[in-house]
Amino acid sequence: MIYLQLYWEFFKTGLFAVGGGMATVPFLQEMGLRTGWFSPATLADMLAVSESTPGPIGINMASYAGFTVAGVPGGVVATLGEISPSVLIILLVAAMLRAVRGNRTVERAFYGMRPASLGLIAAAGIGVLRLCLLDEAAFAAGGQLSDLLPWKPLLLFALLWGLTNLVKPAKRLHPLTWIAVSAAVGVLAGGF
């Protein structure tokens, strides 16, 4: 029963992803590889679309992934799965807001969970980087270092990184701007 499986997979994601939409990426990456529902490349595309459309990124990703797996009902079920743990926990916690907010044990648990969540995001990021910026297939075939490092995507990466981190006026622009620019560069370059 695909819908039940979708619901459960996204329930786990909603329960364990700590710290916003990007934190769901490692869970989706592992889910895609384990179930064969979507490839890491598709996941990167879903992330881009989710960043460029209205709505919370985590929810957009769940809707998109669910739709990819099982059409419109799949999107609905995945989204419901992702929000279920939040709703249950918040309804439990809501009654004792003050107790949770200043609670030292909760703070200490988050002290540990934040860097772990970041480690997961970084590992997922390295997976995406290997996929998009390195040509490991050409390297395996040719054995040259220049085969491993295709210059066009690497140049675009360096440019975008510099613009979003070092150039003050550019830093403030919404990610959507950079996604649109990269799409245009991709089309002009005839693909990477």
Tell me if 28 sits within 8 A of 65, measured CB to CB. yes
64 contacts another protein (rule: CB under 8 A):
yes
CB 118 within 8 Å of CB 110: no
174: left (phi over 0), alpha (psi -120 to 50) or beta: beta
Among 35, 53, 144, 146, binds another protein (CB under 8 A): 53
- Which residues in 57-67 are b (16+ Cβ under 10 Å) and which e? bbbbbbbbbbb
At 48, list the tokens.
């881009």
Query: Taking CB under 8 A as the rule, does residue 190 contact another protein?
Result: yes
Distance of CA 82 to the CA centre of its chain: 14
Residues 117-146 that bind another protein (CB under 8 A): 117-126, 128-129, 131-133
Site for another protein contains 47 (CB under 8 A): yes
Q: Which of 4, 90, 141, 173 binds another protein (CB under 8 A)?
A: 90
Among 37, 57, 70, 135, binds another protein (CB under 8 A): 57
The span from the CA of 78 to the CA of 20, in Å, is: 17
Interacting residue with another protein among 1, 36, 104, 168 (CB under 8 A) = 104
Closer residue to another protein, CB minimum distance, 143 or 191: 191
Q: Which of residues 3-32 bind another protein (CB under 8 A)?
A: 12, 14-22, 24-27, 30
Residue 108 near another protein by CB under 8 A: yes
- Using CB under 8 A as the binding rule, whether residue 51 contacts another protein is answered as yes
Q: Give the gyration radius of the chain's Cα atoms.
A: 19
Sign of the CA dihedral with 38 first, then 40, 46, and 47 last: positive
Residue among 41 and 140 whose Cβ is closer to another protein:
41
